[in-house]
Structure 1
Amino acid sequence: MASVLQDTATHETSRVDHLVRGSIDLHCHSGPSVMARYCDHIEAMREASDAGLRAVLLKDHYYSATPVTELLNKHFSDLGVLMLSGVPLNNSVGGINVHAVEHGIKLGARLVWMPTFSSANHIAHHKHDEHFNEKFPQTTQKMLAPIPLSVLDGDGKLKEEVKAILDLIADADIVLSAGHLHISEIWPLFEEARKRGVKRLLVNHPTYVVDASLDDMRQLASEGVYMEHSMCMWVPGSKFRFYDPQFLNDVIEAGTVDLTILGSDLGQKGNPTFTNGFRHVIETALELGYSEADVRKMTSTNAATLMGI
């Protein structure tokens, strides 16, 4: 009996490792960073290579890692991992700054994040939740008070500088991420984005900070929007494990398998590695009854389609 159980466990581990190979992580928080990270960008690339990941998108809330990824792809091509990054529109790059976007695209950025840590919505969550510091990574040193950013003006209309950025995104055919905007801001943003020719739309962790309901997610899916869910919110041992497996099933069903992306959102010091994040969540998805083909879509194919790789 023990032998049968051992063989079953070995088979399941092999199955999970097989699905990890070829995966794409669109949410890796490596360093250097003003936040505590367990690995730097080179170490992240090596970890991804060892696990067989196909591509990794590096995300820092305070700067674009695009120049770094260009160097990694040139000098570490033997590792067989495509490294990507984008432009985060927070205070440290001048906020909603069309020049930062233009420069980032010229360097090879594949994505633009609307404000995250500097968004008025994120800051409001911080102010109204006394436990927010425990739920969200904090900088290792005190930073200047952020200037709250929104894509909407005082009349609730999209700002002109946002429209200029949407034109750049459309022209380059790269991804627009809603960042940490509230769902109420995302509707007019995406509506205008479509009008201006933006084809690649993404909402990161829609149920966390963004405050999207399952019904909102169904609507986003009906409009062809990809939704990425953070593995760190389901992985055992994560400081940001907020949800149970049933909720993972709920958000996948709401957003559909074809538009769901599972990204690690890992790299924080003291949390599981991002590749172990993939192992745990892939195993969870299989236990929930999703087929290997479905899991492959959510951990690889959908991300590849969104990014155009």
Structure 2
Amino acid sequence: MKKSPAIASVLHGLVDMHVHSGPSPFPRRFDHVEAAQDGARIGLRAMVAKSHHHNTQMDVLAMKDRLAGVAATVHGGIALNSTVGGLNVHAVRMCLRMGGKVVWFPTISSGRHMDCHPEDGSFPTTTVPLTLERIDIVDEGGELKPEAVEILDEIKEQRAVVNGGHMYPEYIRTLFHAAKERGIERMVVSHPDFVIGADRSLCRELTGLGAYLEHEVGHYDPEGPERWDPKRLMDWIEEIGPEHTVLASDFGQDTNPKPVDAWLRVAGALLDLGLPEKDLRRMVCDNPARLLGLDPTD
């Protein structure tokens, strides 16, 4: 495997759109500031702090003084689970108008997630007792609920990112077709082959709408919980194309490695498998920067 300093140079300017730093009811190994500070090891440009339970943009604003001395920019967002009221356009409006960048449709409140993890089977236990309800975005006839449409309109107005969350593949299809009809250009499917179970034909349909597939390096880290073979990720990249792919960490959990360490190991494995450096940089620097509306870099 290539040496870490060389890999860090290739990763310089990385934008990580999926960091599970704290605070959170789930145990986290560091907060958003500490995650951004640790990112300096690979020249982290920006990150998005994700919580399954609350609007992280307010965290970011509360940490403004501590973040002032950090090179990386930290952005927030909101996941539409029951702890924020589900399909709550008022919560979305506040998050985005306070500077948030990403709206994840239901993750742990989605029917698909609950099918895969009944009683939070392989997810961490919250540090305080919480309630969780299933949130669906379609009605009994399969039509997108009015609340979801209103949220899409707010996302369009604020030029934010719509993420399919952990929903059933057919729900993500319905959502993204509606987003495309409204002129939304920033769409992301996180880990299509983890929890969601989207087949590749559907993924090609979604990328045809302009969506990006986000694969998580945390799933491929040999020291992480999944330990998938990086050849599996290479296969996805080769079939879908780096132009439609974003890589993110999905790390920050108390029991998992730090995101930077996973980036170094998995990026090294991909380069050893023959992935061109320009394709790696496209997936970790250029594509996520475009999604977040960041100025292009040299």
Q: When the two structures are superposed, what TM-score results if normalisation uses the length of structure 2?
A: 0.93
Cα distance in 1 between the residues matched to 2:126 and 2:241: 35
Instruction: Judge conservation of contact 1:221–1:256 (CA < 8 Å) in 2.
Output: no
Q: Could you tell me which of 200, 204, 222 is aligned with 2:208?
A: 222
User: How do 1:101-250 and structure 2 match up within 5 A?
Assistant: 101-127=92-118, 133-134=121-122, 136-144=123-131, 146-241=132-227, 243-250=228-235
Instruction: Judge conservation of contact 1:228–1:261 (CA < 8 Å) in 2.
Output: yes
Structure 1 alignment gaps of length 5 or more? 1-8
Cα distance in 2 between the residues matched to 1:41 and 1:31: 6
What's the offset of the Cα at 1:70?
3.0
* 1:307 and 2:288 matched: no
Instruction: Judge conservation of contact 1:220–1:255 (CA < 8 Å) in 2.
Output: no
Name the residue aligned to 1:40.
31
What's the offset of the Cα at 1:50?
3.9
Alignment deviations for residues 191-214 of structure 1 (CA, whole Å, 9 cap, x no partner): 111112211111111111111112
Tell me the amino acid that sits aligned with residue 180 of structure 1.
H
Name the residue aligned to 1:255.
240
What's the offset of the Cα at 1:289?
0.7
What's the offset of the Cα at 1:240?
3.1
What's the offset of the Cα at 1:262?
0.8
Cα distance in 1 between the residues matched to 2:217 and 2:285: 14
Instruction: Judge conservation of contact 2:9–2:42 (CA < 8 Å) in 1.
Output: no
Instruction: Judge conservation of contact 1:88–1:114 (CA < 8 Å) in 2.
Output: yes
Q: Secondary structure at the match of 1:176?
A: strand
Q: When the two structures are superposed, what TM-score results if normalisation uses the length of structure 1?
A: 0.90
Instruction: Judge conservation of contact 1:215–1:254 (CA < 8 Å) in 2.
Output: no
Q: Secondary structure at the match of 1:27?
A: strand
Instruction: Judge conservation of contact 2:32–2:74 (CA < 8 Å) in 1.
Output: no
Q: Secondary structure at the match of 1:87?
A: strand
Instruction: Judge conservation of contact 2:8–2:41 (CA < 8 Å) in 1.
Output: no
Alignment deviations for residues 272-307 of structure 1 (CA, whole Å, 9 cap, x no partner): 111111111111110121111111011111100111
Name the residue aligned to 2:74.
83
Name the residue aligned to 1:4.
none
Tell me the amino acid that sits aligned with residue 114 of structure 1.
F
Q: Secondary structure at the match of 1:79?
A: coil
Cα distance in 1 between the residues matched to 2:239 and 2:137: 26
Name the residue aligned to 2:16.
25
Cα distance in 2 between the residues matched to 1:45 and 1:300: 16
Name the residue aligned to 1:5.
none
Q: Secondary structure at the match of 1:280?
A: helix
Cα distance in 2 between the residues matched to 1:295 and 1:70: 31
Instruction: Judge conservation of contact 1:258–1:302 (CA < 8 Å) in 2.
Output: yes
Name the residue aligned to 2:84.
93
**Identical pairs, percent:** 35
Name the residue aligned to 2:277.
292
Alignment deviations for residues 13-52 of structure 1 (CA, whole Å, 9 cap, x no partner): 3320102321111111111111111111221121113431
Cα distance in 2 between the residues matched to 1:230 and 1:297: 15
Cα distance in 2 between the residues matched to 1:152 and 1:196: 17
Aligned residues: 294
Q: Which has the larger radius of gyration?
A: 1
Alignment deviations for residues 192-244 of structure 1 (CA, whole Å, 9 cap, x no partner): 11112211111111111111112222222222211111111100111233x21
Tell me the amino acid that sits aligned with residue 121 of structure 2.
N
Q: Secondary structure at the match of 1:152?
A: coil
